[in-house]
Amino acid sequence: MAQTTSESVDETETNETTESALTTARRQLKRAATHVDVDSGVVERLKHPTKVQRVSVPLKRDDGELEVLTGFRAQHDDVRGPYKGGLRYHPEVNADECIGLSMWMTWKCAVMDIPFGGGKGGIAVDPKSLSDEEKERLTRRFAEELRDVVGPKQDVPAPDMGTDAQTMAWFMDAYSMQRGETTPGVVTGKPPVIGGSYGREEAPGRSVAIITREAIEYYDWGIEDTTVAVQGYGSVGANAARALDEWGADVVAVSDVDGAIYDPNGLDTKDVMGHEERPGMVSGYDAPETRSNEELLELDVDVLVPAAVGNVLTADNADDVQANLVVEGANGPTTFAADTIFEERGIPVVPDILANAGGVTVSYFEWLQDINRRQWSLDRVHDELESEMLQAWNAVRNEVENRDVTWRDAAYIVALTRVATAKETRGLWP
């Protein structure tokens, strides 16, 4: 069963502990719109998703019991190309969260100038409660429920929290079986053997490192003299830390969910294993000093990269952050209130929609490879990612310089201008 939901959100809400992704996303749109000369009707349209699918997904558990789970796919805007964004399996997945996250995807694709719009979806389920067989059955049925609204030219999902390359392989197989043709371009983040791209896994972390390197150069610090603390040593954090370490920065602190390790002389990031690589290896590492995750955020370093979870930099700790620059590796690590404090304190924050956009950029490369049935080498992926990141960085930097705005406002100005201009040029149908 699919139906369209409506949403009601007050974007003037100020209690940041209850701020939903949709509230934040609408607030950011409203703020960006004040800087850009676009039709107010276009901004009004962008406050709303085009469509939200809500589907019931029956799952036969391994013990034979039947459970009906709820899945969503929010499609925010496709004026520049197919909807694009992850599918997450998490107990708290709901329509509003998917809408808010799909809006972020619209801006992320636009700031990168890749021809995709914004989508996000998922199933309200605890992925740890699923056996591999249950996860496969659930994913195949979810693919079937979404079959009419996804496709290489319509909406292209990707992995997100609780889903991975194998989940995408099942989704792609289910879709392909029903279509009667192998259709790798229906999802990205697949294993390379069935049309996935080399370099997709490390791309978000790599882009965080590229943007951090450019920001260090912009502020004229010199990467060899820069100290970095990274919260979260998973896919994004570890790849960002290792690239920055390789390029000469001193990564002095990293953390996983259990805590942080700190070496003022710099850690050997290749020696520190991520939680996924070896559980407990971050917090259990033989480092000179340890810290809590909260303390890591307040270390006296040049660059802070929050790359674990959202909402970690808040009104409660923003005054205590000592870093001179924040580069967002995670999605939404800085609340609206913390952002204001950082602005007042003159601490630049380079936003997620630019910094971690390497993931969706290499997803775009994957989609191109699938359509052309031609795989790129890892070197080519790295070269093209570098070039796309630099173009996006330059576009955002120009706005920072020309308008004297924050990095976040500048990124939103770039993105909103591109989306709004496309909407104005195409006009309203009918």
Which residue numbers are catalytic? 120
- Whose Cβ is closer to ligand NAD: residue 103's or residue 308's? 308
- DSSP annotation string for 309-372: -SS-B-TTTGGG---SEEE--SSS-B-HHHHHHHHHHT--EE-HHHHTTHHHHHHHHHHHHHHH
- Whose Cβ is closer to ligand NAD: residue 281's or residue 422's? 281
What is residue 150's DSSP assignment? -
Q: Shortest Cβ contact with ligand NAD: which residue?
A: 234
Taking the complex as a whole, the smallest distance from the CB of residue 56 to ligand NAD amounts, in Å, to: 26
Q: What is the spatial distance between Cα 221 and Cα 22, in angstroms, rounded to a whole number?
A: 36
- Whose Cβ is closer to ligand NAD: residue 59's or residue 415's? 415
Q: What is the spatial distance between Cα 5 and Cα 54, in angstroms, rounded to a whole number?
A: 7
Q: What is the spatial distance between Cα 174 and Cα 141, in angstroms, rounded to a whole number?
A: 8
- Whose Cβ is closer to ligand NAD: residue 24's or residue 141's? 24
Interface positions with ligand NAD (CB under 6 A): 204, 231-237, 255-257, 274-276, 293, 307-310, 329-331, 356, 359
Taking the complex as a whole, the smallest distance from the CB of residue 21 to ligand NAD amounts, in Å, to: 11
Taking the complex as a whole, the smallest distance from the CB of residue 403 to ligand NAD amounts, in Å, to: 27
Q: What is the spatial distance between Cα 356 and Cα 353, in angstroms, rounded to a whole number?
A: 6
Taking the complex as a whole, the smallest distance from the CB of residue 293 to ligand NAD amounts, in Å, to: 4
Taking the complex as a whole, the smallest distance from the CB of residue 326 to ligand NAD amounts, in Å, to: 14
Tally of CB atoms within 10 A around 152: 17
- Whose Cβ is closer to ligand NAD: residue 237's or residue 420's? 237
Q: Are strands 250-256 and 155-159 parallel, antiparallel or unpaired?
A: unpaired
On the 0-12 / 13-18 / 19+ scale of CB atoms within 10 A, 2 is middle
Q: What is the spatial distance between Cα 377 and Cα 189, in angstroms, rounded to a whole number?
A: 16
